[in-house]
Amino acid sequence: MVKELIRKHQDLEIYKMAFDTAMQIFELSKKFPVEERYSLTDQIRRSSRSAVCANLAEAWRKRRYEAAFVARIE
């Protein structure tokens, strides 16, 4: 088994999974009722984009400091 060199946070398997999940949430939210389009839909879309992927990216930038890295991943 050959391991790929990880050069950026987008190369992490967990980041790819989180991004794909966020895109699935976005697609599913398109099917919500019209009356929910601006309140619930907007909130779900924003939270799916920002939460996991952003925390992983920030943790990757701080990976030199183990405590900071672990705090972002948890």
Taking only the tens place, the pLDDT of each residue in 58-69 is 888 877 777 776
Token pair 């990880």 in the structure block, residue: 6
Ordered by start, the domain boundaries in the chain are 9-73
At 34 the pLDDT is 80
Measured at the CA of 4, the angle between CA 59 and CA 74, to 5 degrees, comes to: 25
Q: Which pTM value belongs to this model?
A: 0.67
**What would the pLDDT profile of 35-60 be if each residue is shown by its tens digit?**
777 778 888 877 777 777 888 888 88
Complete DSSP assignment for 5-72: P--SGGGSHHHHHHHHHHHHHHHHHTTS-GGGTTTHHHHHHHHHHHHHHHHHHHHHHTTTSHHHHHHH
Token pair 């088994």 in the structure block, residue: 1
- More confident call, 20 vs 44: 20
